[in-house]
Amino acid sequence: MSSLLIPRWLRHRRLSLRVLLTILLLSSALTLAITAVQLYSEYQRDLGSLERQLQQAESTFSDTLASSLWSLDRVQLELQLHGLLQLPHVRQVFLTGDMDLQAGVASDYPRQREHIIPVVYQGGDGVQHTLGEVRMQADLAEIDGRTWDRGLLILLTQGAKTFAASLLILCAFYYLVTRHLHRMSDYARTLRLGGPRRPITLSRQQQGWFRPDELDELQDAFNHALQRMSEDLAARERAEQEKARLDFLIHFDPLTELPNRVLAYEHLTDEIHQGQPGRLTALALLDIDNFKDVNDGFGHDIGDRVLVEVAQRLRRCCEPDWIPARFGGDEFLVIITRIPDRQWLDQRLTQLLEDFCGPVAITPEQTLFLSATIGVAVAPDAGNAAKDLIQAADTAVYAAKRDRKRSLRFYRPQLQEDTQRRLRLESDLRQALAEDQFRVHYQPVVDAATREVTSLEALVRWQHPLRGLVPPDEFIPLAEENGLIVPLGAWVLETSLRNLRSLRQSTGNPHLTVAVNVSSRQLLEGALDETVHSALQKAGLPGSALQLELTERIFLHDMAETRRALQAVEAMGVTLAIDDFGTGYSALGYLRRLHVHTLKVDREFVRDISSDENDRHLIRAIISMAHDLQIRVVAEGVETREQLEFLQEYHCELAQGYLFSPPLPMGELTEHLLKWVHHAP
C-alpha cells in the first residue's frame, strides 16, 4: 500500500529520495547544532554584559548612596535611584533600610535578574555602618528577543543553503550513480538461465578521476556473476553426482562396496522392529584371524586386497536374504533373518566358516591361509536393540578367540558375566599394583643327593582385600594379556633379590640363589636387561645370584629379539632355566642356540613316575639328554619319597616339591631354612 502513495516519477527513484532526505536530515541536524552553539554563545555574552553593567553601577553608586542615606537626604537618594533606573534592562529599583524608597515599575516578564548593592557608610572613626541595601530588578526580554531573532535568521539562511546544496548533490548523484543503477536493474530483469549472457557495459567514460570506483566494481561483479551462472550450472551437475557418491560413502564401505556400519545398523534395527513374534533375527560378527600380522608383514595394500577377497567370499557364502556388511577394520557383519531354529543357524554358519576359510593369493608367488572367528547374537535372547546385539556378538567373538577351541561361538549371558568379571579383575589388578597387594612366596629347591637347599623359586601371590588369596593361574594370564606382567615382573624381581640378600645374611649361606619366572612380554616389551641390572644393583648382588625361568612358549615369538635380550642378561652372569620342560614348544633347537643352565621337568611327568613306565622312560630320556648337553635337571612336584628315590636312581641333581616344603612367605622361610639342616626329609 505504501508504494501506491508514492508518485510514479518517484517510485523508481526511492534511493535518490532517501539520499536527499538523508542529506537534508544530516545537514539540518548539523545546522541546528552549530546554530544552537552560536546562539548560546551570544546569549551568554549578553548576560555577561548585563552583569558587568550592574557591577559597574554598584561600584559607582555605592559610596554616594551611603553618604546620602547617612544624611537622610531623600531628594538626593531619589535622584540616584532614578539614575540607576536608566541602566539598560533595569525596570525597578528598591531602597530598604534606614529609608525605604522605590523607583520604576515592576516587569511582568518571567525571566529576570536581580542585583543587590549593600549600602555601608564608613565614619571618620573608621567604623562601618550598614544602612540598608539597593535591589535592582532587570528583565531579560530584550536579550531573549534578540536571541530568537538571530536564531530565526540563521535557520532561514542555513536552511536555504542546505536545501540548495542537497538538490545539487541529488542531481550529481543521479547522474553519477542512480541512472547506472537503473541500467543494471533493467539488465538484471532480462537475465534467464540458458539465455544470452552478454556482459553489461555502463554508459560512462572509461577513464576519469577516482577510477575504478564502486560502479566499476559493481559492473565487474555483474559480469562475474554471469560467468558464475554458467559455471554453477555445470557445478550443479557435478554436485548431484558428488551427492550420490557421498550418499554411497555414508552407507557403503568404499573398499569392499559392502554396507558399512551405519547402513548395517539401520538394517538390523529394521529387522528387529519388523520381526514377527517368535521370529528369530541373528547377527554374526566375523573377525579375520591375525589380520594385523598381514598389515604389518606385507603392508596395507596387501591388507586391502585381503579385505576385498573377504567381502567377495562373504557374498558367495551368504544366503540371498542375508545382509553382509563391513563393521570396520578386520570385522564384518552378517544380518541373518528367516531362521527356522538355532540348529539350522549353527549348521549354516559352520558351513559358511568352512567355505570362507581357505588360501588367498596375495602375490603370484605367495599365498596366505584365510581364517576367521565368528560370534553370534540372536534376538531377542541377546537383546532387542541393534547396539545390544552388536555388543553381544563382539563378546562372543572375544570369548571364541580366548578359548581357541572353536571358531564359532554363540552369545550366552554367562559370556557377558565372564567379560565383566575379567574387567573387574583387571581393574583390581591395576589397583593391587598401586596398593602393594602382591606377596612373594618362596619354594626351596634342594640337592636330591645331599638334601641341601641350593636355591629358591620366587612365586608371586595376590592377597586381595576382599577375595583373599587369588590363585596365580587366574591373574597371571590376564596380566600377560594386558601388559601388567611387565611392572609386576619387575617388582617380583626386585623384591626377590632384596629378600635373597637378607636370607644369605640370616642363614649364613652365601651361595643361595633365587629363580624368578619371566614372561615373553617382559622379554619383548619390558627392557629385561635394564630391569635385571637395576634390581641387582639395588640388592647389591652379583648376576650369579639370579636365575631366570623361561617357558618354552617364549620361543614361539621373535627368536632373534628373544636371543638378544637373553644374551644381554647372560652377560651379567645370570643363568637361564627352562620351566615346565616337555609341555610346550619342545623344538630343542633353542637348547643349542642359548646357554641354558637348568631344565625343570614339569610335575605332570613326575606325578606318576612310580606307576607309569612311560613317564619313567620319558624322564630318564630328558635327564640323559640334559646331561649330554651339560645341563642340570630339576624335578618339580616331588611329593613322595618313592618319587625322590626314582629321581635319585636316574641321577636327577635337584628336586622341588611339597615333600621338602610348600611355598612360604618371607616371614616363615627364614625359620624354615635355619631348621632345614636338622629336619631335612
Q: Which of 62-98 are b and which e, b meaning 16 or more Cβ less than 10 Å from the residue's Cβ?
A: eeebbebbeeeeeeebeebbeebeebebbbbbbbeee
Average pLDDT on 370-385 reads: 87
For residue 173, give the C-alpha cell.
Answer: 548523484
Burial class of residue 25, CB neighbours in 10 A (0-12, 13-18, 19+): exposed
Task: Tell me which of 52-61, 126-135, 368-377, 583-592 is least confident.
Answer: 583-592
Average pLDDT on 528-547 reads: 92
Q: What is the pLDDT of residue 582?
A: 66
pLDDT at 470 over 70: yes
Average pLDDT on 556-575 reads: 79
Instruction: Give pLDDT tens digits for 415-442.
Output: 767 777 777 878 888 888 888 889 999 9
Q: What is the pLDDT of residue 494?
A: 93
Average pLDDT on 209-218 reads: 68
Q: Check: CB of residue 60 under 8 Å from CB of residue 86.
A: no
What is the Cα 428 distance to its own chain's centre? Answer: 27
| Whole-Å CA distances, 229 to 60, 190, 236, 489, 503 | 91, 14, 10, 72, 92
Instruction: Give pLDDT tens digits for 454-466.
Output: 999 999 998 888 8
Burial class of residue 485, CB neighbours in 10 A (0-12, 13-18, 19+): buried
| Whole-Å CA distances, 548 to 52, 498, 567, 592 | 116, 16, 12, 18
pLDDT at 584 over 60: no
Reported as a pLDDT band with limits 50, 70 and 90, residue 333 is: very high
Helix, strand, coil fractions of the chain, as percent rounded to 5: 55, 20, 25
pLDDT at 195 over 70: no
More confident residue, 57 or 402: 57
pLDDT at 27 over 80: no
Describe the crossing of helices 386-403 and 413-435 by its angle, rounded to 10 degrees. Answer: 70
CA atoms within 13 Å, Cβ hemisphere of 47: 13
For residue 219, give the C-alpha cell.
Answer: 559492473
Select the highest-mean-pLDDT range: 204-218, 221-235, 658-672.
Answer: 658-672
Q: Give the DSSP letter string of 225-257.
A: HHHHHHHHHHHHHHHHHHHHHHHHHHHB-TTT-
Q: What is the pLDDT of residue 64?
A: 85
Q: Check: CB of residue 647 under 8 Å from CB of residue 638.
A: yes
Instruction: Give pLDDT tens digits for 600-621.
Output: 988 888 888 888 888 888 889 8
Reported as a pLDDT band with limits 50, 70 and 90, residue 634 is: very high
Instruction: Give pLDDT tens digits for 136-179.
Output: 888 888 888 888 888 888 878 877 887 787 778 777 777 777 77
For residue 291, give the C-alpha cell.
Answer: 589380520
Instruction: Give pLDDT tens digits for 281-323.
Output: 899 999 998 888 788 778 888 888 889 988 999 998 888 889 9
Task: Find the radius of gyration of the CA atoms of the chain.
Answer: 55
Reported as a pLDDT band with limits 50, 70 and 90, residue 628 is: confident
Average pLDDT on 222-232 reads: 76
